[in-house]
Amino acid sequence: MSSPVSPPTASAPLNPRSRVITASLVGTTIEFYDFYAYATAAVLVFPILFFPTGNETTSLLASFAVFGAAMVARPIGALVFGHFGDKFGRKATLVASLLTMGIATVLIGCLPTFQQIGWVAAFLLLVLRLAQGFALGGEWSGAALVATENAPAGKRAWYGTFPQLGAPIGFIIANAVFLTINFALPHPDGTGQRSEAFLAWGWRVPFLFSAVMVIIGLWVRLKLVESETFTKAEKTGAIRKFPVGTVFRHHWWHLILGTFIMLATYVLFYLMTSFTLSYGTKAADLGTASAAAQAAAEAAGKPFDATAFAAQFYPGLGFAYTDFVLMQIIGVVFFGIFTLLSGPIADAIGRKKLLIGVTIGIIVFGLAFDLFLLPQADPKFTGALVQAFLIFGFALMGTTFGPMGAVLPELFPTNVRYTGSAVSYNVSSILGAALAPLIALALWAAAGGDPWLVGLYLAGSGVLTLIAVFLAPETKDVDYEADLGVGVTGSL
């Protein structure tokens, strides 16, 4: 009697669950860490060190403009990385995007400032910021595909939440690093980070620290092998020579739907991070703001025009930076919790039902900005309302962001899935993320410091997303193994 034959090694899962989860999570954590580090510096440091225009609002707008410029580079990155990811595989593309992002971020930490080389410093910052955006254009989609193409049946949305979880984790790590530096360095005012030591070199540490995280991410990703879904597409000849042309020719409607499905998520994301940090930490009264601006002008050896400053001043909430970031971190904990919860819910009830419900919630939340964000007579009550605002907003963020790791890839067949999901995700970044900080700042100023117009802007983006969700198909039961794209893109 012959002994039983062991099953061939090829029948075993190509990527164990732990490796899939770690590889999809660690990369997006690093990418979002790098972006958050820039976002924080864009508010606290770069207006002073790279855009010293003499006007606080103009400097902040210039800093936000460079921040938003990365979003313009993201669709370009999506096209390039999407092409290679759909044509040659996910693994090498993910490694390349991570390296690009990591190198650009470390170099930002090495840049000379305006005082050293003039406006060339701002130009170099812009170039490296564009490189960050280019890299992130390919990172998210590849990570989402690693998760969902290796997911067990019926758990694709659950697995798709792991790359999404990189956003709250990256936020917490980045801000924890900034806070640690703040507490470690001397600062005369006892609250803010704008101490001499922080402006001289402390702000560079978070950017340089990303090198450690990139090394860890590369080690994990180099252990990956291609998913069975992509391998099957290769073997059946479904891979296209020019995936970008295929996706625009045959899947343009899903590209539009995917772009607007992501819109409210992006607007909410950047309002809850960069705008709230600006609004929450800006001085609540003209006297305090004027004194700080005059001291900064004197330190820089520039004249200070009190009348001009008063004419362009609009108030914020006046929280100390460290206090407000701690409040944001509390909110981001709910971001992470609801990101994880959203996956099983989307697998159980479907993507559309969940997204319709949460998008309606985002619209209502946008209309309620004034209920939470206007200063109250009792500062403690103001703090409680703002903390509630951050918790509600980030909980909505997790619930809408979590399913996107499955929803956008499911709109496209295997042979253009990387390109299609990447283009939708990153074109939406221009309409939402790139414009959101600038639009929010302009609306905040137009309302004289009242945030109600900013909330209306969020509600309007929610309406557009709601329409797109209604028009989109339910993708819960899409079969990745069968949906290779062969029937759409032509005969083999």
- pLDDT digits over 143-166, tens only? 888 888 888 888 899 999 999 998
Q: How is residue 98 written in tokens?
A: 């991570």
As a whole number of angstroms, the distance between CA 365 and CA 359 comes to: 10
Of 24-33, 184-193, 407-416, 464-473, the range with the lowest mean pLDDT is: 184-193
pLDDT above 70: residue 188: no
Residue 135: pLDDT band (50, 70, 90) is confident
As a whole number of angstroms, the distance between CA 154 and CA 380 comes to: 46
Backbone angles phi, psi at 150, to 5 degrees: -105, 10
pLDDT above 70: residue 237: no
Q: How many CA atoms lie within 13 A of 1 on its CB side?
A: 1
Of 9-23, 35-49, 348-362, 363-377, the range with the lowest mean pLDDT is: 9-23
In 3D space, the residue among 143, 165, 63 whose CA is nearest the CA of residue 98 turns out to be 143
Which sign, positive or negative, has the C-alpha torsion 174, 175, 179, 180? Answer: negative
Distance between terminal CA atoms of the chain? 45
Q: Are 126 and 68 in contact (CB under 8 A)?
A: no
Q: Give the residue, 237 or 185, on which the prediction is more confident.
A: 185
In 3D space, the residue among 105, 175, 93 whose CA is nearest the CA of residue 141 turns out to be 93
DSSP 8-state code for residue 112: -
Residue 45: pLDDT band (50, 70, 90) is confident
Q: Give the residue, 467 or 67, on which the prediction is more confident.
A: 467
pLDDT above 80: residue 476: yes
Amino acid at 478: V
Q: Which residue has the tokens 């860890």?
A: 216
DSSP 8-state code for residue 9: G
> Residue 124's pLDDT is what?
92
pLDDT above 60: residue 10: no
Q: Which helix (H) or strand (E) holds 65?
A: helix 56-88
Q: How many CA atoms lie within 13 A of 483 on its CB side?
A: 14
Q: Which residue has the tokens 């971190």?
A: 329
As a whole number of angstroms, the distance between CA 254 and CA 370 comes to: 36
Count H helices, E strands: the chain? 25, 0
pLDDT above 80: residue 375: yes
| Contacts with 253 (C-beta within 8 Å, 6 or more apart), sequence order | none
Residue 255: pLDDT band (50, 70, 90) is very high
pLDDT above 50: residue 14: yes
As a whole number of angstroms, the distance between CA 75 and CA 419 comes to: 10
As a whole number of angstroms, the distance between CA 137 and CA 114 comes to: 29
DSSP 8-state code for residue 202: G
Residue 430: pLDDT band (50, 70, 90) is confident
* Helix, strand, coil abundance in the chain, percent, nearest 5: 75, 0, 25
3-class DSSP state for residue 161? Answer: helix
> Residue 454's pLDDT is what?
94
How many residues are given for the chain?
A: 492
Mean pLDDT of 468-484: 85
> Residue 257's pLDDT is what?
96
> Residue 190's pLDDT is what?
52
Q: Give the residue, 400 or 121, on which the prediction is more confident.
A: 400
Q: How is residue 198 written in tokens?
A: 């922080």
> Residue 193's pLDDT is what?
43
Q: Give the residue, 120 or 11, on which the prediction is more confident.
A: 120
> Residue 171's pLDDT is what?
84
pLDDT above 60: residue 7: no
Mean pLDDT of 386-399: 96
Burial of 18 (0-12, 13-18, 19+ CB in 10 A): exposed
> Residue 4's pLDDT is what?
43
As a whole number of angstroms, the distance between CA 311 and CA 481 comes to: 62
Q: Are 340 and 165 in contact (CB under 8 A)?
A: yes
- Exposure string of 135-154, with b = 16+ CB inside 10 Å and e = fewer, is bbbbbbbbbbbbbbbbbeee
Q: Which residue has the tokens 């899939």?
A: 20
Q: Are 409 and 141 in contact (CB under 8 A)?
A: yes
Which alpha helices (H) appear in 45-55, and where do they start and end? 46-49
User: In 114-271, where do the E strands start and end?
Assistant: none
> Residue 488's pLDDT is what?
42
* Cβ atoms within 10 Å, residue 191: 14
As a whole number of angstroms, the distance between CA 37 and CA 172 comes to: 10
Q: Give the residue, 411 or 277, on which the prediction is more confident.
A: 411
Kindly report the average pLDDT of the chain as a whole number: 82
Residue by residue, DSSP assigns 207-273 as HHHHHHHHHHHHHHHTT----HHHHHHHHTT---S-HHHHHHHH-HHHHHHHHHHTHHHHHHHHIII
As a whole number of angstroms, the distance between CA 233 and CA 245 comes to: 18
> Residue 347's pLDDT is what?
95
121 to each of 52, 112, 208, 371, 468, how far by Cα in Å?
Answer: 12, 6, 18, 41, 41
In 3D space, the residue among 132, 151, 103 whose CA is nearest the CA of residue 346 turns out to be 151
| Contacts with 65 (C-beta within 8 Å, 6 or more apart), sequence order | 438
| Contacts with 175 (C-beta within 8 Å, 6 or more apart), sequence order | 36, 40, 325, 328, 329
Taking the CA atoms of the chain, what radius of gyration do you get in angstroms? 23
Residue 471: pLDDT band (50, 70, 90) is very high
pLDDT above 90: residue 274: no
Q: Give the residue, 61 or 236, on which the prediction is more confident.
A: 61
> Residue 302's pLDDT is what?
66
pLDDT above 80: residue 231: no
